[in-house]
Structure 1
Amino acid sequence: MRFSLAALSVLALSQLAGCSSTQSKQEEASQTGKITAEASANPVRSTSASADSAEKPAASERAVTSTRSVSTGDSTLDSLTYAPTGAILPKHRIFAYYGNPHSKKMGILGKYEKAEMLRRLDQEIKNWQAADPATPIQPALHLVATSAQGAPGKDGGYRMRMSDKTIKKVLKWGNEHKALVFLDIQRGHAPLGPEMAHMEKYLKLPFVHLGIDPEFSMVTGAKPGTKIGSYDAADVNQAVQFLSRVVKENNLPPKVLVVHRFTQGMIKNYKNIKLDPNVQIVMDMDGWGPPVLKKDSYKAYIQKEPVQYTGFKLFYDNDFRKPGSRIMTPAEVLALDPKPMYIQYQ
């Protein structure tokens, strides 16, 4: 995808808003112990959820062999042969590098050239595998495929879709490296449904999964980056239903849905989120800060608002922003109870 200098600047700024400029709000929440943290290695809700919710089937119970007999209608996509089988969680821990190849400021995925980025990914995975030898690690690349923007654009959506070329490039990296690829949506003002539909041809591939970011779901009409957005359980259910349909129509293994979160208000009515055997939901703790705040936040919200699986995000840069702060070690993260099954580095 060709970007003008102005477009690239807005792209980078939107990402800094995602984990930097809106961090003033996050820091304020952190100081009062209100950074959300979700974690559950178990594919069920805890007893704090309703009894009705707790009886939902676990996505990990469904193990289906993937087939590549279904055509995406795109010869480039159909040439990608990596086809994991069965449910990823909880047999594997997913380890993802996040970002966009067009921006060094968005995250580790775009900070280095492909070969160096993948080398670092593999080295980091070795560190995590050493910390928990019993759980195999599944590598992943988490691409911001729809980026929230500070300007409305032609349709007023306040978001930029990455080009087919950009998405295919990262898919090829995943295919070559036997890594999952997550396509992340920051919807801005655009409806979620059409943004997911735009990704459907890619999601027909068995190694491609979805992420949605409530921070940039601007239900109040505010400009992305000026306030923290939110999703209701109904929105999460819409994503689950969409992915479940893709799985059933294409005879695929369960899809993983990552939902980012760092404040309680980013997800409304969590008890109404419905589990589906075709989709594995990960609530990803997306806050940066000193280890003590991240640990306290994790403990404070994991028991209160469990959904299914949980993740934990680490920041190569932002976790060092506070004086005396540092990035948590694999051993520290894995000492959390229960252990996160999705790890993401930005």
Structure 2
Amino acid sequence: MTSNGGRLARVLSVLVALGAISTLVTLSAGAAAAQDAAAPDNAPAIHAIYLDHLGREATAAEITRFAGLGITLTERDVQTVVLGSPSFYRQAGRSVSKFIQALMMETKGRRATRAEMKELRDVFRNGPDRRPAARRLVANRALAMTGYDRDGFRVSRIAVLRTERGAISRIDVQLNEIVDLMTDSVQVTIDGRDITGELSRRRRGTVASLTPSTEIFRSGRVIASVVKGSDPSVRADKSKQIAPARDEIFPNVRVVAYYGNHQTRLLGVLGETGPEAAAVRVKAAAARFDEPGRPAVGAFEMIATVAQGSAGADGNYSAPSRLEDLQYWIDVARDEGLYVILDIQPGRSDFLQESQRYESLLKQPHVGLALDPEWRMYGDQRPGQVVGSVTAEEINGVSAWLSELVLENDLPEKMFILHQFQTRMIKNRDAVIDRPGLATIIHADGFGGRAIKLTTYRIIQAEPPFWNGFKLFIDEDTRMFQPADVLNFTTVPVPDLITYQ
């Protein structure tokens, strides 16, 4: 959405070059995007931003750098570069904590809260290896977090409407004053990815409504930015989180999960950080599996009941997690637009009994279930001494209960995952039933070299109506498959679920 009259605002691709975020696209009501370079028009605004944040005007070299991009800049684009610059970092005191506090003072006029400090430190820690790129990423997130605006102009609300299939049908951006589609520009992204489409006005002109030009099933952080007229300093930003489209998970999206237990890093990558940092990391991992028409959504696969080497008080050789501990991760996942999968390693208990421990969590719309037969023990078997197994009958008992839970509570479709790396692990697999309300996935596990992993996957792979999963072991695999490798599988199906352990 850009003006028909003066210059047409488009959005900077600074962060694209850093590999940190995709281009934000300016949407236009009946106008083509401008192709002319913007340096002469934007130089005064760029000088003003440098004066505001660094106490000096931009140098000729800095102006030339922006002009070389050949596109019109917006205020936030320049702010991202300026606030992430070495000059601002030095003025802040040359430490990450001081840098974040300085960012918050500049954009919000106050110090960062403990939660904001943690989130921005996690963004820096899990960002690009190049420190300047990481600082720009933190600056961009801080600007989004604070809803930076000037002159009392602001975005008061973002609403995202979906169809019955879960596709985004409309994005409404509500302002505190009337928007003029002939002169004002609006930019909308979801997790840094462009949203383009037709723009209209609602509610007497105070709501700009975007109808996407293609079906979109994205989730994550929505950022809406509005520039009034041709003055980039009169700008309002707002962000919100939207949950995944979960009516039918596959094939609308591909899911990319981090696996592990929240209490230890020994069981997988998920345990290496807290949930906020894990969300940043898994979103970055998922983005590499995006394909046109099939976006990738991140997930936490959490080992809820963990197999143990000792019998424990109940003699089951397994230990359940506390519901409140899991709920904290589930809450973060919901806020960040991620799925959660509760993984069961039952030891000498059974899958239904262990799954029912987490019924209150599984009633939440973004929480699914995984059964790991490797850790299902019988008789005097002990976890770690033998590869376990499960019958189709036991699996069907769990899926019947979970399907009923979904239908009775009017929940969207849930992932129901069966881990497997040997054919003997699921006895009589052909008898496993596909239940309504469940997307049942046969997940090919096992670590090793590329050839053995593909051979295992080829043997384990599922046929419709079931879906396929594939695990990548970050430390144990030899020449671990990269996203481009997985997306270009030819001798086996491209998996619908990819899990990193």
Answer yes or no: same fold by TM over 0.5: yes
Contact 1:63 1:253 in 2 (8 A): no
Distance (whole Å) between structure 1 residues aligned to residue 262 and residue 350 of structure 2: 25
Q: CA deviation at 1:273?
A: 0.8
Match of 2:349, as an amino acid?
Answer: A
Distance (whole Å) between structure 1 residues aligned to residue 300 and residue 261 of structure 2: 10
Match of 2:480, as an amino acid?
Answer: I
Partner in structure 2 of residue 260 of structure 1: 419
Q: Aligned residues, how many?
A: 263
Contact 2:375 2:387 in 1 (8 A): yes
Distance (whole Å) between structure 2 residues aligned to residue 64 and residue 122 of structure 1: 20
- The secondary structure found in structure 2 opposite 1:105 is helix
Name the CA shift for 1:201/1:114 in 2 (closer, same or farther; >3 Å): closer
Partner in structure 1 of residue 321 of structure 2: 162
Distance (whole Å) between structure 2 residues aligned to residue 193 and residue 153 of structure 1: 19
Alignment equivalent of 2:435, drawn from 257, 260, 276: 276
Contact 1:98 1:109 in 2 (8 A): yes
Partner in structure 2 of residue 55 of structure 1: none
Contact 2:450 2:481 in 1 (8 A): yes
Partner in structure 2 of residue 309 of structure 1: 467
Partner in structure 2 of residue 344 of structure 1: 499
Alignment equivalent of 2:265, drawn from 93, 97, 104: 104
1:184 maps to 2:352: no
What stretches of structure 2 of length at least 5 have no aligned partner? 1-163, 168-240
Distance (whole Å) between structure 2 residues aligned to residue 298 and residue 267 of structure 1: 15
TM-score (norm: length of structure 2): 0.50
1:318 maps to 2:476: yes
Q: CA deviation at 1:82?
A: 4.8
The 10-residue stretch of structure 1 (264-273 or 191-200) with the greater mean CA deviation from structure 2:
191-200
Match of 1:309, as an amino acid?
Answer: W
Alpha-carbon deviations, 1:100-154, whole Å to 9, x = none? 121011111111243432222122122222xx33311121111100001111111
Following superposition of structure 1 onto structure 2, how do residues 1-346 of structure 1 map, counting pairs within 5 Å? 82=243, 84-129=245-290, 132-302=291-461, 308-319=466-477, 325-336=478-489, 337-346=492-501
Alpha-carbon deviations, 1:60-89, whole Å to 9, x = none? xx9699xxxxxxxxxxxxxx9957441111
Distance (whole Å) between structure 2 residues aligned to residue 276 and residue 188 of structure 1: 25
Distance (whole Å) between structure 2 residues aligned to residue 189 and residue 64 of structure 1: 40
Distance (whole Å) between structure 2 residues aligned to residue 115 and residue 64 of structure 1: 26
Contact 2:363 2:405 in 1 (8 A): yes
Contact 1:186 1:212 in 2 (8 A): yes
Partner in structure 2 of residue 21 of structure 1: none
Name the CA shift for 1:145/1:126 in 2 (closer, same or farther; >3 Å): same
Name the CA shift for 1:194/1:202 in 2 (closer, same or farther; >3 Å): same
Q: CA deviation at 1:298?
A: 1.9
Match of 2:481, as an amino acid?
Answer: M
Contact 1:217 1:231 in 2 (8 A): yes
Distance (whole Å) between structure 1 residues aligned to residue 466 and residue 431 of structure 2: 13
Distance (whole Å) between structure 1 residues aligned to residue 250 and residue 303 of structure 2: 22
Distance (whole Å) between structure 2 residues aligned to residue 307 and residue 214 of structure 1: 21
Distance (whole Å) between structure 1 residues aligned to residue 358 and residue 426 of structure 2: 23
Contact 1:83 1:205 in 2 (8 A): no
**Which of these two proteins has the greater Rg computed from alpha carbons?**
2
Q: CA deviation at 1:220?
A: 4.3
Partner in structure 2 of residue 12 of structure 1: none
Match of 2:476, as an amino acid?
Answer: N
Q: Which has the higher contact order (CA 8 A, sep 6+)?
A: 1
- The secondary structure found in structure 2 opposite 1:318 is coil
Distance (whole Å) between structure 2 residues aligned to residue 338 and residue 101 of structure 1: 31
Q: CA RMSD in A?
A: 2.2
Distance (whole Å) between structure 1 residues aligned to residue 166 and residue 350 of structure 2: 31
Structure 1 vs Structure 2: percent identity of aligned residues?
Answer: 33
TM-score (norm: length of structure 1): 0.71
Distance (whole Å) between structure 2 residues aligned to residue 63 and residue 239 of structure 1: 26
Match of 1:328, as an amino acid?
Answer: F
- The secondary structure found in structure 1 opposite 2:439 is strand
